Amino acid sequence: MSKIKTRQFDIANYLTNDEDMAEYLRQVIEDNDPAELAGALGAIARARGMAQLAQDTGLSRESLYKGLSGDRAPSSETLFKVMRALGFKLTVEVAHS
């Protein structure tokens, strides 16, 4: 029996424009999970180019890969730097129960 080789799914391969990236972030934010948000920002950063993000934020690529892995929630300072550098902003609205 032969083995089939597959690659792990990476959403970054499917985030091809700003609208898709923004919609992905909106969906993730609704889950209220800071680590998941970090992972989503990491996927967007990989789709756009981590080296450019490192330059735009002043953070090292290594720290960005670690902080945006989705394994943990990075500091709010890092999240805001990354979101700003990626061209996104947070907006607030009243949540209806």
Residue 20 has what pLDDT?
96
In this predicted structure, the answer to whether residue 97 has a pLDDT above a threshold of 80 is: no
In this predicted structure, the answer to whether residue 42 has a pLDDT above a threshold of 90 is: yes
The answer to whether the predicted template modeling score (pTM) of the entire model surpasses 0.75 is yes
**What is the pLDDT of the chain when averaged over all its residues?**
92
Check if the beta carbon of residue 45 is closer than 8 Å to that of residue 37: no
38 band by pLDDT with thresholds 50, 70 and 90: very high
54 band by pLDDT with thresholds 50, 70 and 90: very high
Domains of the chain: 28-86 (1.10.260)
d(CA 58, CA 26): 25
The DSSP output letter for 74 is P
CB count, 10 Å around CB of 41?
27
